[in-house]
Structure 1
Amino acid sequence: MVLPDKTIFIQGLNFLVMIFLLNIVLIKPIREIIKKRKGLMADQLEKIEGFNEDAETKVADYEAQLITARKEAGDIRNAAKDAGVVEEQALLSTAGTEASSTIQAARTEIKSQVKGAMEQLTKDVDKYAEQATGKILGQA
């Protein structure tokens, strides 16, 4: 069995002094370093959150600008398409008018050629009729 004597009090006092000294020399500085590190981590986290918010804002702005640009591109494309349709109609109208006048000129020329051919044939028919009659009657 252990008998308590006065050394136990000295050991207890020695233990308390060592705890006090360790607290001053070792534990407080480590706590300060941990506190500083926590503060630094909190600052870093705030900066990261701020950066993320800025990035989200920039992405939202970029998407809004992209939507606006797509809308403008669609409007420009539609306007160009409408202008192309108008120009196409004008060209078709002009081509139709030119084709109609060309066809009319060709018909007029064909009529004059038919008329000339008919006159020539009419003249030639009389001549051919006389030759045929002469051959039939035996005059040649």
Structure 2
Amino acid sequence: MIDINTTFWIQLVNFVVLMFVLNAILYKPILNVMEKRKQHLQGLDDEVKSLEQTVDAKVADYEEKLRQARLEAMNEKNEIQRMASDEGKTITEEARQEISKMVDGFKKKMDSEMADVRKILKSQAEKISVEISEKVLGRSIQ
């Protein structure tokens, strides 16, 4: 059978002392370092999550501003196109009116010139007909 002698008690005391010494020198510092590391990593994780939320909010804000800017640009483009179209219609209408006035002026001028030419031709018609007759007949008619 197993006898409990002094060696056992010495080893038991040695074990207990060694446990206290190792606990004080090794285990507690290691556990403290591990706990600090865990807290530090948790803090970093929280900071990363916070930064991700901030980045997501800023990206959403940026995308909203970009969408608004595109919408404003499109509205401004449409407004400019509408204004240009209106201006083009106005210019075209003014040009049509100007051309119509010019055509009317030319017609009046042509009518006036035609009337003048008719007057001249009426006054010279007899003379011209005599000249033509003389040329066709080859002799003088008077």
Q: What TM-score comes out, normalization by structure 1 length?
A: 0.84
Q: Which residue of 1 aligns with 2:118?
A: 118
Deviates more, 1:35-44 or 1:128-137: 128-137
Letter in 1 for 2:140: Q
Residues of 2 paired with 1:137 and 1:27: CA distance?
149
Q: Which has the higher contact order (CA 8 A, sep 6+)?
A: 2
Relative to 1, partners in 2 of residues 1:12 and 1:97: Cα closer, same or farther, differing over 3 Å?
same
Could you tell me how far 1:17 is from its partner in structure 2?
A: 2.1
Matched ranges for 1:36-115 at <5 A? 36-115=36-115
Gaps in structure 1 of 5+ consecutive residues: none
Could you tell me how far 1:21 is from its partner in structure 2?
A: 1.0
Could you tell me how far 1:34 is from its partner in structure 2?
A: 0.8
Letter in 2 for 1:138: R
Give RMSD over aligned pairs. Answer: 2.4
Could you tell me how far 1:95 is from its partner in structure 2?
A: 1.0
Could you tell me how far 1:4 is from its partner in structure 2?
A: 8.0
Letter in 1 for 2:10: I
Could you tell me how far 1:100 is from its partner in structure 2?
A: 0.3
Relative to 1, partners in 2 of residues 1:101 and 1:18: Cα closer, same or farther, differing over 3 Å?
same
Could you tell me how far 1:117 is from its partner in structure 2?
A: 2.1
Q: Residue by residue, what CA displacement relative to the aligned partner does 1:45-82 show, whole Å, maximum 9, x if unpaired? A: 11111111111111111111222222222222222222
How many correspondences in the alignment?
139
Relative to 1, partners in 2 of residues 1:84 and 1:5: Cα closer, same or farther, differing over 3 Å?
same
Identical positions, percent = 26
